[in-house]
Amino acid sequence: MSETTIHDIAKKLNISASTVSRALNDNPIISKSTSKRIKKTALEMGYRPNSLAANFRTKRTNTIGIIVPLINRHFFSSVISGIEDLAYTQGFAVTISQSNDSFEKENKIAHTLFANRVDGLILSIGMETIKYDHLKLFAERKIPIVFFDRIAETIEAHKIVVDDFGGSLRATEHLIEQGAKRIAHIGGPLNLKIYQNRLAGYFKALERAGLEICDSLVIHNSLTRKDGTIAAQKLFQNENKPDAIFCANDTTALSTIIYLKNIGLKVPDDVLIVGFSNEPFSEVVTPSISTIKHPGFSMGRKAAELIIHQINEKVTRAVFETITMPTELIIRDSSKRIKIEK
């Protein structure tokens, strides 16, 4: 009933436990022949290494902690999938928690992961997070952190973001190319850098085209389905109605389209729409939604690569990179003004 240990194996073979340990860890110092004998009897005796003991001894868990706002969201589950995919090949386990965008929960999770001695942390911070003491914990103990998407600017760490600025610039320029003159923007909370950047890209495009920036055409909210509807409502009650909207996510793009349909306006005939993130639904709704593609899976793999590298290096880096993943404009029906072309 009780587990076989390396001592049991050692006793059986009349050798020492350390030799067994070395052999089982493929230490090249052990002769081929004894190593083979040891592995054979280990198998016979049904030995399974006690990684709890090993972890305790070596102070390494081979575990990467992940914190995301919500697992069940396409972008985040893509990233997680990418992290797991690479981590697995490198012998790391992955433990996941969701903050539900609550600072309190994020804080608790961070402490738990810290206590559980994860070797590294990959996270996207929650909407409420503006203090980073819970992350400084890790920094102090030299436990590597990699941020993705929603980053904490003041913490020194590798960061992986998508090119929000460039994507938004392209999206807005595309609307301009399609003939839009009064382009509105439905954006996210500005305490998050990603939404600052998306706003900036939008502004830049307007500026380049010599279009006026109009305060009444810019609305910020939490980008839920409902927020999109309310924003659209506001935009079309105005005097200065937009002829195009660049939405900071696909969810609001969708609810905007639905709202417009309800008040008798057609997309793209009356109003052009571009979203952001390329949610699975965007391709299949009517009209299909033009959007900016977010490379979730690759971001996850890259994040895993960076953190594992740091874990294995054990070198305290002075220099941290911010990696910007390329975005891609996907033009679909919601933003094609010129139907004649084809």
Binding site for its own copies (CB under 8 A): 48-53, 55-56, 59, 61, 63, 70-74, 77-78, 80-81, 84-85, 88, 93-98, 105, 109, 112-117, 254, 258, 279-281, 284-286, 296-297
Residue 284 has φ and ψ, to the nearest 5°, of -110, -5
Phi-psi region of 324 (alpha: psi -120 to 50; beta: other; left: phi over 0): beta
Bridge pairing between strands 272-274 and 158-162: unpaired
**Of its own copies, DNA, none, which one sits near residue 218, judging by CB under 5 to 8 A according to partner kind?**
none
76 or 203: CB nearest its own copies: 76
**How many CA atoms are closer than 13 Å to the CA of 236, on its beta-carbon side?**
20
* Contact yes or no for 87/304 (Cβ under 8 A): yes
Least distance CB 62 / its own copies (angstroms) = 8
Alpha-helical (H) ranges within the chain are: 6-13, 17-24, 32-44, 51-58, 74-89, 103-115, 133-140, 164-177, 193-209, 225-237, 250-262, 296-313
The minimum distance between CB 74 and its own copies, in angstroms, equals: 7
The partner in contact with residue 286, picked from DNA, its own copies, none with C-beta cut-offs of 5 to 8 angstroms by kind, is: its own copies
Out of DNA, its own copies, none, which partner does residue 70 contact, by CB within 5 to 8 A per kind? Answer: its own copies
Write the CA distances from 254 to 116, 221, 267, 281, integer angstroms: 41, 15, 11, 9
Residue 292 near residue 250 (C-beta atoms within 8 A): no
Q: Does 49 bind DNA (CB under 7 A)?
A: yes
Q: Which of 11, 36, 44, 56 binds DNA (CB under 7 A)?
A: 56
Tell the smallest beta-carbon distance from residue 46 to DNA (Å): 12
Q: Confirm or reject binding of residue 25 to DNA (CB under 7 A).
A: yes
Instruction: Pick the piece of the chain touching DNA (CB under 7 A) from 44-52, 239-247, 262-270, 290-298.
Output: 44-52
- Residue 112 interacts with DNA (CB under 7 A): yes or no: no
Cβ 157 to its own copies shortest distance, Å: 20
Binding test (CB under 7 A) with DNA, winner from 1, 26, 43, 57: 57
> Of 53-61, 137-145, 206-214, 225-233, which segment contacts DNA by CB under 7 A?
53-61
| Residue with smaller CB distance to its own copies, 218 or 245 | 245
- The sign of the torsion formed by the CA atoms of 17, 19, 20, 26 equals positive
- How far is 249 from 35, CA to CA, in rounded Å? 57
Minimum CB distance to DNA, residue 314 (Å): 12
- Contact residues toward DNA (CB under 7 A) are 2-3, 5-7, 14-19, 21-22, 24-25, 28-31, 33-35, 47, 49-50, 53-54, 56-58
